[in-house]
Chain A
Amino acid sequence: MFFKTIGELVAYAEKERVTIGQVVLEKQGIQLEKSKEDIFRQMGAHYRVMKEASWQGINHPAKSLSGLVGHDGKKVMNRVTNGQSILGRFVGKVVARSLAVGEVNAAMGKIVAAPTAGSCGVLPACLLSVEEEFNVSEEKIVEGLLTAAGIGLIIAKNASISGAEGGCQAECGSAAAMAAAAMVEILGGTPSQAAHATAISLKNILGLVCDPVAGLVEVPCVKRNAMAAINALTAAEMALAGVESVIPVDEVISAMKEVGEALPASLKETAQGGLANTPTARKLEKELLK
């Protein structure tokens, strides 16, 4: 049995003087009846799929089946490499890569659901860019993925990671929370700081609806991955500086569940409300169904 709350997970990690990632490795090894080495190897393999997807999306961009998305990650990356990015090199790359991985997914490329396919760009964009910019070892990044997975596991149990159940806050929001916690631990923050980063990023995205145009994982999903990645960076930055969430993380997760339940069905992946119900979306939908 894994921890019921992030509070319990953090308390355990701080008592044992280890990272959340290391606790997740130990506890999941027992649940999965696998050695720590096996789990580390499998997570490492997932990280390499993430890297490949990012590389593919930037260097060999493709259009989705509907033609609605594609090539935007490369456009942003071009500005970054030309030194024009208003976000600066590091953050510019995070935006470019989150778009690129989302586009690879939309074009039927190979990705890692993290936690879902619709939100698959956030973790790769953040972690690849941190590895590159801060000269962190791949091993440390994979440990960060374990941190992210542990946080995601508790969010999935206590709220939801499905857009159909909880709206986009459950998908892109959870992805941002997971990425924020991972980055905090990778860059030397404490388990408690990782929990604050999780809380801050979830609070900032609370209530975001899931309203995909024509029901496809394309518009607005791909661009929301970029927004969620920036949200993760902002939350990690605050937490590493010692900024704390006034509302404890587990209460934020409960609030997210409550908000998700309160959202009408039309705003939970049914393509009936929000952007999916705009005149342009309806026109596109009609054309795509022909």
Chain B
Amino acid sequence: MGLNIFDIIGPVMIGPSSSHTAGAVRIGRIAGVILGEPVKKAKIFLHGSFAQTYKGHGTNLALVAGLLGYDTDNPKIKQALIEADNQGMEVEFIPANLGSGFHPNTAKLVLTGASGNTTTVTGASVGGGNIVITQINQFKVDISGDYHALIVSHEDKPGAIAKVTALLAEDGVNVAEMKVSREQKGDLAMMVIETDQEVSSEILAKIHHLSLTSSAIMVKPI
């Protein structure tokens, strides 16, 4: 889309840092949506600069605020850990070295939901509040949070992608970007489709119930 004036005078945010605070809120928020239910337990690994400066930048507060569903300009971010405690969310922060291939501002969130489901989401805050979700469970992905993103778990078989995109076309949804990742040939796979429009709940349900898919999640722009 290119920069516009509200990237220059904006965003409205809770300080102190667009990358270490605002971006962290967005990573937490998307991770929570991907889990798809209230977070019961969060084990958060902090890499690079996040590991070094998370206390001073409130990165820990920001990530948890995201898990609680807060926006980047919510003044309650500062009290996020207290609120998490009130809601019975168990949180642990672990400074870690995830490896050389990771951006210096990376967080890996291992989330367990109220029903016992566990999802691991890794994301990087790449500057100015912009983020990239790089991994969901075993799959490499590329989600910016700037567009609507449809995340579909499916079998790596011919026709899976065509069936999903046909349903999107039926809904009048335009694909902006798309990435497919698989464990190995013929095994489990994940497609992430960033779209210009929101996918309707009816179409989302249809995608979810296709024979080759096992789940479909819609992440709104954050």
Contacts and interface: CB of A to CB of B under 8 A. Distances in A.
Interface of A: 24, 28, 31-32, 39, 42-43, 45-46, 49, 64-66, 104-118, 120, 123, 145-146, 148-150, 152-153, 156-157, 161-162, 164, 178, 214-218, 271, 288-289
B6 to A, nearest CB: 7
Contacts of A43: 5-6, 9
A104 B14 CA distance: 9
Contact of B75 (A105, A109, A120, A215): A109
Given A111-B13, A215-B53, A217-B57, A162 B128 contact: yes
B55 A288 contact: yes
A104 B15 CA distance: 8
Given A66-B56, A108-B61, A32 B17 contact: no
Interface string B118-160: 0000000001110000000000000000000000000000000
Given A46-B9, A162-B128, A216 B56 contact: yes
B77 interface: yes
Contacts of B13: 110-113, 117
B195 to A, nearest CB: 17
Contacts of B55: 65-66, 288-289
Nearest to A28: B5
Nearest to B95: A289
A181 B10 CA distance: 18
Contact of A164 (B2, B12, B57, B127): B127
Interface residues of B, number: 34
A288 B53 CA distance: 9
A108 B15 contact: yes
Interface of B: 2-18, 21-22, 49, 52-53, 55-58, 61, 73, 75, 77-78, 127-129
A215 B9 CA distance: 23
Given A216-B53, A216-B56, A108 B8 contact: no
A289 B52 contact: yes
Contacts of A157: 3
B5 A146 contact: yes
B15 A31 contact: no
A108 B16 contact: yes
B17 A117 contact: yes
B15 A115 contact: no
B8 A115 contact: yes
Contacts of B11: 112-113
| 4 A-B pairs closest in CB distance | A105-B15, A149-B5, A152-B8, A217-B16
Nearest to A24: B5
B11 to A, nearest CB: 6
Contacts of B7: 153, 156
A143 to B, nearest CB: 12
Of B6, B7, B15, the most chain A CB neighbours within 10 A belong to B15
Given A31-B4, A149-B9, A106 B16 contact: yes
Contacts of B78: 108
A14 to B, nearest CB: 21
Contact of A110 (B3, B75, B127): B75
Contacts of A114: 8-10
A150 B3 CA distance: 11
Contact of B15 (A117, A149, A164): A117
Contacts of B57: 65, 215-217
Contacts of B8: 114-115, 148-149, 152-153, 156, 161, 178
Given A105-B16, A289-B52, A113 B21 contact: no
Of B6, B16, B56, B77, the most chain A CB neighbours within 10 A belong to B16
A215 B5 CA distance: 28
